[in-house]
A = this chain, B = another copy of it.
């Protein structure tokens, strides 16, 4: 490969990630050229706050304050959008595509919410929109799903894709902290933002799940209709009980194709029907402590996938941070630059024109459930619970009743169910709530893995 090939690149945004990308490209120009055959020439960096770009080592004459100077530069072939948000960032991406430039972005919210328009535009102009850094940060996950596992129909995916939530749940588990205490600790250490709602409400995980559904299951979902539950209502008492039962709490993004393989005897040849249904959800879940994802602690991310040829795989690493995210962004820039210079499709990927799966209603979701009821300790209550659940087809796998408190006479009953339909389970919960036996609303946590 010739070492003289050059690809001119512009960045928009020189904050934590953008600054890290600029720094990496500048410091690693020789290494990247040796490995890829292309010299990545960072010709313009746009940021309203120009000193941020200077701090990343960008020469002053390459820093501009208006993104249009990047998008309008006829020599620039790749625009990396690293400002975040769904407002101006959308203009940056759409106008870069309109100007015939490939786009690299780490912006999950933008792609999950506006991806259809963006990818349609890219397809139209035969341009790449690469977004390795948008899901699971530094982990080369999209590359693995798109190219490494290209021969597989994916059957299921379980992901820990939000480091803030994983940090909080790890602290709650390890230190017996309530949610608020663990959140404060996470904020103090920089693992949670001052306004943590986008993370702890599960929305950020939802954005990533939407992109994983499009990429790995060829199914684009309407983000506003995705089932999302955050971790705010997870209580330390349930973590403690679950721990004793051998379970670890995680905020999971789940995708599961139906029908699931009936047999894996033949090394995972179970077929996933192309016209089947896809189950998607973001919710706190319990995993057996021996499950590979249960060991993913602190702010780390990991995604476990099951493909019908490769069977189970797991990809683990840093989901955020200046240099880990830059590592992913730069890998996209290099891949696109190689296709610009040498030809070939590069990391091109477009959502399917037709979804491979129909989205199943969440009421048909199947899981095992951890349930906790605080009951007034009267004779016959346990039998009533079991009867009502049974009438809704929810069958009990394990039950633990804890002695009633001698002052308030309230007893806790924990149940682990066999696999049950979400719709049946919630009807059963409604039935139970209608009876006058519960002291407080029941607790429900799904069990996955």
A residues with a Cβ closer than 8 A to B are 1, 20, 24, 28, 31-32, 35-37, 132, 138-140, 143-144, 147-153, 266-269, 290, 292, 295-296, 302, 307-318, 321-324, 326-328, 330-331, 334-335, 338-339, 342-346, 348
- Nearest CB on B from A3, distance (A): 13
Greatest chain B CB density within 10 A among A312, A335, A344 is at A344
Greatest chain B CB density within 10 A among A302, A312, A314 is at A314
- Chain B, Cβ-Cβ closest to A152: B327
Q: Is the CB of A24 within 8 A of B314?
A: no
Complex-state Cα separation, A20 to B268, whole angstroms: 12
- Nearest CB on B from A429, distance (A): 34
Selected from B148, B318, B322, the residue in CB contact (under 8 A) with A144 is B148
- Nearest CB on B from A396, distance (A): 30
Chain B residues with CB under 8 Å of A295's CB are 290, 292, 295
Q: Is the CB of A151 within 8 A of B326?
A: yes
- Nearest CB on B from A347, distance (A): 9
Q: Do A324 and B338 form a contact, CB below 8 Å, given A132-B148, A144-B148, A344-B345?
A: no
Q: Is the CB of A267 within 8 A of B317?
A: no
Chain B residues with CB under 8 Å of A346's CB are 344
| A-side interface mostly | mixed
- Chain B, Cβ-Cβ closest to A330: B151
Chain B residues with CB under 8 Å of A309's CB are 24, 138, 323-324, 326-327, 330
Complex-state Cα separation, A267 to B17, whole angstroms: 12
- Chain B, Cβ-Cβ closest to A24: B151
Chain B residues with CB under 8 Å of A308's CB are 323
Complex-state Cα separation, A315 to B309, whole angstroms: 17
Chain B residues with CB under 8 Å of A148's CB are 132, 140, 143-144, 328, 331
Q: Do A144 and B140 form a contact, CB below 8 Å, given A292-B316, A316-B316, A344-B345?
A: yes
- Chain B, Cβ-Cβ closest to A305: B317
Q: Is the CB of B147 within 8 A of A331?
A: yes
Q: List 20 A-B contacts (CB under 8 A).
A: A1-B348, A138-B310, A140-B144, A140-B149, A143-B144, A147-B335, A148-B331, A149-B331, A150-B331, A150-B334, A308-B323, A309-B330, A310-B324, A311-B317, A311-B323, A312-B317, A315-B316, A338-B344, A343-B344, A344-B345
Complex-state Cα separation, A344 to B328, whole angstroms: 21
- Chain B, Cβ-Cβ closest to A138: B310
Chain B residues with CB under 8 Å of A267's CB are 20, 321-324
Complex-state Cα separation, A302 to B312, whole angstroms: 12
Q: Is the CB of B317 within 8 A of A151?
A: no
Q: Is the CB of A323 within 8 A of B310?
A: yes
Q: Do A150 and B36 form a contact, CB below 8 Å, given A338-B344, A344-B345?
A: yes
